[in-house]
Structure 1
């Protein structure tokens, strides 16, 4: 008898669960499926350490007495600019949106975010094979092709004569952005959003669409931040995996 009562209770509970997920519409019943939880953003920087990243700095490798160019300061990730090199994620990513805030801490200069990074030191014995999203002051949002390629509309007006295009040393690797006035004044934080979906890379700076590329020759890889001469501060580094 006890087993029978337990069985009845279980059936009753199951019936209540099904009933709560069923909604009547006229003479028919519509089963309401529970929505799956949306994916949570992945924090790539914890504000305290460089966990999840590693450095590739050729000069530091040759001379360990040089300063380390990537540090944590006041909860910010800081690229000191020299010695030059890259801070690279340990993991590879595909089909995602990367968002972060950055600003030049002192004098404006050069820096960049590399997506789809793979083979290290593939260009000038320094830059990993990748596509760079430029952060250089006054040129933020440009693409730079580093042994990988990408296309945009109006290619010749934004990249120069087709005969000069290329992805290696001495070639026209720069693809100019779409705007000239999307950066905040020096000292203020800029917000950049980069979406990589299949062979497309789309870039927004402070809410403005600044580049929109397609036909990328790479669709996955690591993400890298540069030390390329100027001191740059970073915060709120998040990645959202796309469907």
Structure 2
């Protein structure tokens, strides 16, 4: 496929966001612009120009992950994971996860995700973010999870019976800042010496004290519902 010249793409994005006036773009304008550019197959080198990649962070794309699949609950006629215009899309079938090629210990992960309104209607769609994945790949691996499930967004839990966690969680804050199905929610997770802190749309939601898991691979789940991820970036913190 022939790509549009980079300057034309970026100029179009700027126009979509800013319009004809010099006013600062609203969140709605930014989201509408992101929808329009998500349909364009962009050269990889321009993705960081479309998304906010803060100094010290590295943007992760589909090629930075490996895939593990469980047993499909129905025949699979399309790939579970695809990427277009900087958005990683997941069909939700079969259950499984992407896991990073690199292992991490102390880090900050930032990303946005949403359950598209075109997906199967579900009042409590599900996905999750896996940290410190260790051992064999299975459903589900030994790790800690920051929930992506709508009702428990940004909650922290253990995915292994052998590992218990002491978790502090703020349900009231979650309900105040969580955006509805169909809209993008931003998640940040900070790992420091085995302790995790989750931040939802700029508001701290949960934290856990260190467990025996302190390093491993980072993953995102396929858990039965269509879901989209964008602007996944990671920064290693000083050990």
**TM-score normalised by structure 2 residue count:** 0.67
Provide the aligned C-alpha RMSD in A: 2.6
State the SS of the aligned residue for 1:180: helix
The Cα of 1:81 is off from its aligned counterpart by: 0.8
- Residue correspondence of structure 1 range 59-208 to structure 2 within 5 A: 59=71, 66-106=77-117, 107-108=121-122, 109-121=125-137, 125-147=138-160, 148-153=163-168, 179-208=174-203
Structure 2 residue runs without a partner (length 5+): 1-53
SS at match of 1:181: helix
Q: Counterpart of 1:58?
A: 70
* Change in CA separation of 1:128 and 1:66 when aligned onto 2, cut-off 3 Å: farther
1:232 has 2:227 as partner: yes
**Which 4+ stretches in 1 moved above 2 angstroms?**
62-68, 175-182
Give distance in 2, aligned partners of 1:177 and 1:132.
Answer: 20
Q: Shift in Å at residue 215 of structure 1?
A: 2.2
189, 207, 216: which one aligns with 1:212: 207
1:179 Cα deviation from its structure 2 partner: 3.1
CA shift at 1:58, angstroms? Answer: 2.3
Shift of 1:220: 0.6
Counterpart in the other structure of 1:167? none
* CA distance in structure 1 between the aligned counterparts of 2:86 and 2:60, rounded to whole angstroms: 13
CA contact (8 A) 2:154 2:200 kept: yes
Distance in 1 between the 2:56 and 2:173 partners? 31
1:83–1:65 distance in 2 versus 1, CA, 3 Å: closer
Larger radius of gyration: 1
Number of matched residues?
178
- Rate the CA distance shift 1:176–1:222 in 2: closer, same or farther, 3 A: farther
